[in-house]
Amino acid sequence: MAKHVVAPVKEIPPGERKIVELEGRSIGVFNVNGEFYALRNRCPHQGGPMCEGKLTGFVTADVPGEYTYSRKGEILRCAWHGWEFDVKTGQSWFDPVKTRVRAYDVRVESGSDVTKDSEMAGMEKGPYTAETYAVTVEEDYVVVELS
């Protein structure tokens, strides 16, 4: 499983998104109320740029004239034809069993965790020692995992 650092957390504020290219795939990373989600930037309908669409919620009504707005910023509407998908799961609202957008695992990691994983990959310990200095990274990063 490949891990990709896509941005510092502060670069994608709540209600915003960042579209990135990872391993030849365009992927949208969304911040929904402080939680991060990633979706393939390709609508299953006609291949449109899914993640460039409008983020909305749901309007429901029990009686005429009285409505409720819920799930603000959790529903993504395709920029081309308005097909709606759940940002958290990638499921469509018109056919959740058969039609969905590919969702990817996302997590927030501290800077020290991000660098630790790749620090010594593929290297062997040698006989020489260099003078080193302590370094700290004090930011959190959004990381997307592709399988």
CATH of the domain at 77: 2.102.10.10
CA distance 32 to 46: 26
CA distance 91 to 5: 25
Domain for residue 72, yes or no? yes
Give the structural domain span for 66: 2-118+134-146
pTM: 0.77
Domain for residue 127, yes or no? no
Is the CB of residue 141 less than 8 Å from the CB of residue 31?
Answer: no
What confidence score (pLDDT) does residue 135 get?
A: 60
Domain for residue 125, yes or no? no
Residue among 68, 70, 16, 36 nearest 141 (CA): 36
Domain for residue 96, yes or no? yes
Domain for residue 47, yes or no? yes
Domain for residue 66, yes or no? yes
What confidence score (pLDDT) does residue 106 get?
A: 93
Domain count, the chain: 1
> pLDDT tier at 124 (50, 70, 90 boundaries)?
low
Answer yes or no: is pLDDT of 51 > 90. Answer: yes
Burial 35-44 (b: 16+ CB within 10 A, else e): ebbbbbbbbb
Domain for residue 65, yes or no? yes
Domain for residue 128, yes or no? no
The mean per-residue pLDDT over the stretch 28-38 comes to 95
The mean per-residue pLDDT over the stretch 99-125 comes to 71
